[in-house]
Amino acid sequence: MNADDPLTPLALLAQAERTIAGLPVGDLVAEFQSRGLPIYLVGGSVRDALLGRLGNDLDFTTPARPDVISPILEAWAGSVWDTGIEFGTVSAVHRGQQVEITTFRSDTYDGVSRNPAVMFGDTLEGDLIRRDFRVNAMAVEMLIDDRGELTARFHDPLGGLADLAARRLDTPDAPEISFRDDPLRMLRAARFVSQLGFSVAPRVKAAMSDMAGEIERITVERIQVELDKLMLGEAPWAGMNLLVNTGLAGYVFPEIPAMRDMRDEHNQHKDVYAHSMQVLRQAIDQEQEGPDLVLRWAALLHDCGKPDTRAWNEDGRVTFHHHEVVGAKKVRRRLRALKYPKHVIGDVSQLIYLHMRFYGFGEGQWTDSAVRRYVTDAGELLPRLHKLVRADSTTRNQRKAARLQRTYDHLEERIADIAAREDLARVRPDLDGNEIMQILGVPAGPVVGRAWAFLKELRLERGPLEREAAIAELRAWWEAEQSQGTS
């Protein structure tokens, strides 16, 4: 089912029945049933089964305690891991199917951290009501019938099926209680909006707005994980809009709502926030191998330096000089604060830094040297830079949009033409460090580094040189260095 399909409870149940009947867990269910222990598919697994999008990770719950669950799973799968056993969870993989089985829980929260005092429960309903949203608070009791076939019995004490049919997110308890127990659930709401195409119930949105500051109780590592899941969803702009409109984004990524808060009484430039969301959509349209987290973050944040660089020239026109430089710095700081990996920080900020470089190409014919520098500075990011720059055209003027795309087509043709004549993927000096030392008769040290940098600049400017020409240029440079006393 996709986000545009009409959902009815009967259609959802029929979809789930077909999905669950094909799960390779009949022998596991039989083991629990032979011991008189019920076992339930639960949470997101039930939601996804109803939507026809169940993956290879299955979540189960049971009244059995971990010391009972472990030997059953070991006999079924051969090996288990119990890293979550303090929370009552035992996991295994069998026939490509990952299974997590958790004892009924009845947790309590202290209202300070998001970590509950784990308490095992005795009822299915008690386990379900502690969950984040009603669409995640349904269960399917797994049974083996008299014919030895896997069957299912649906449990929905909190109305999750109705919410799912309405594409609505609502909490089992009052949202204020749910979010006070675990503020991360507010980010999960935005993530599900992005992933599932759902909306949030009015009372949930109101509680998110009123309690946005509670998100500061959550570690940045957990925030980063939820933000990435949101950004990798089918409609990240929808999830981000919810974070911005409720004020949560101001706490977790303030550079994003800052783009919306720009006001221009003269209406001399497009809404930066709306433009960024459109660029995000257009970048996603160019993805060819699945969601690209780096491209998506760069598309959303490429203009985040504009609020700090807005000015007016003598003609009264608004300008944003060097917003790409400022934006790259801001993004590096924010992503570091959110504990992103270094390679993600570097790639996203470099794309932002480079995204305006192309516009110089439209002002006149670039030299081969300029094209080489464009490719070299982008490095492995060049395919993403192509997509980002093309996505950055959101003008409604069809003639202008077509001109920009033609200009970029021409740049890519120039890149391909030069690449056919020389190795643009790895622009290196024509002489390496050992050759430099041998030719100049110098030991390893700063001189070799400066000579290498000179030859690299020469390579960018003039393209590949014959060896003798490169040696002559190196010796001429060295004579100049010695005459200036910089050796």
**Burial code of 437-473, b = ≥16 C-beta within 10 A, e = fewer?**
beebeeeeeebbebbbebbeebbbeebebeeeebbeb
Instruction: Classify 79 in phi/psi space as left (phi over 0), alpha (psi -120 to 50) or beta.
Output: beta
Q: Are residues 28 and 141 in the same domain?
A: yes
**Burial code of 121-154, b = ≥16 C-beta within 10 A, e = fewer?**
beebeebbbbbbbbbbbbbbbbbbeeeeebbbeb
CATH label of the domain that carries residue 228: 1.10.110.30
Q: Are residues 174 and 236 in the same domain?
A: yes
Q: How far apart are the first and last CA of the chain?
A: 70
Q: Are residues 175 and 161 in the same domain?
A: no
- In tens, the pLDDT along 89-127 reads 999 998 888 999 999 987 666 566 656 666 888 899 999
Predicted TM-score of the model (pTM)? 0.84
How would you write the pLDDT of the chain (487 residues) with one tens digit per residue? 455 566 788 889 988 888 888 888 999 999 999 999 999 999 999 999 999 888 889 999 999 999 999 999 999 998 888 888 888 899 999 888 899 999 998 766 656 665 666 688 889 999 999 899 999 999 999 999 889 889 899 999 999 999 999 999 999 999 999 999 999 999 999 999 999 999 999 999 999 999 999 999 999 999 999 999 999 999 999 999 999 999 999 999 999 999 986 654 445 456 899 999 999 999 999 999 999 999 999 999 999 999 988 888 877 788 888 899 999 999 999 999 999 999 999 999 999 999 998 887 655 567 888 888 888 888 899 999 999 999 998 877 788 888 888 888 888 888 888 877 766 666 777 777 888 888 888 888 888 888 878 787 777 777 777 888 878 888 888 888 888 766 5
Among residues 427, 442, 458, which one ends one of the domains? Answer: 427
Q: Are residues 84 and 192 in the same domain?
A: no
Domain assignment of residue 477, yes or no: yes
Domain assignment of residue 264, yes or no: no
Closest listed residue to residue 253, CA positions, set 287, 279, 275, 230: 230
Sheet strand arrangement including 89-94: 80-81, 89-94, 97-103, 57-62, 40-42, 139-144, 150-155
Distance (Å, whole) CA 328 – CA 320: 14
Q: Are residues 232 and 289 in the same domain?
A: no
Burial of residue 22 (CB within 10 Å: 0-12, 13-18, 19+) is exposed
Q: Are residues 309 and 409 in the same domain?
A: yes
Among residues 382, 406, 427, which one ends one of the domains? Answer: 427
Domain assignment of residue 260, yes or no: no
Domain assignment of residue 385, yes or no: yes
Token look-up 């087509």 returns: 409
Q: Are residues 401 and 373 in the same domain?
A: yes
Dihedral angle computed from the Cα positions of residues 222, 223, 228 and 231, in that order, rounded to the nearest 10 degrees: 150
Q: Are residues 290 and 154 in the same domain?
A: no
Domain assignment of residue 257, yes or no: no
The radius of gyration of the chain's CA atoms, rounded to the nearest angstrom, is 29
List the domain range (segments joined by +) for residue 26.
9-166
3-class DSSP assignment, residue 140: strand
Measure Cα distances from 429 to 404, 457, 476 in Å. 34, 8, 16
Under a CB-based contact definition with an 8 Å cutoff, are residues 222 and 260 in contact? no
Instruction: Classify 57 in phi/psi space as left (phi over 0), alpha (psi -120 to 50) or beta.
Output: beta
Closest listed residue to residue 411, CA positions, set 368, 473, 464, 350: 368
Domain assignment of residue 263, yes or no: no
Q: How many domains does the chain have?
A: 4
Q: Are residues 154 and 286 in the same domain?
A: no
Q: What are phi and psi of 139, to 5 degrees?
A: -140, 155
Q: Are residues 13 and 161 in the same domain?
A: yes
List the structure tokens of 225: 């994980």
CATH label of the domain that carries residue 36: 3.30.460.10
Q: Are residues 449 and 408 in the same domain?
A: no
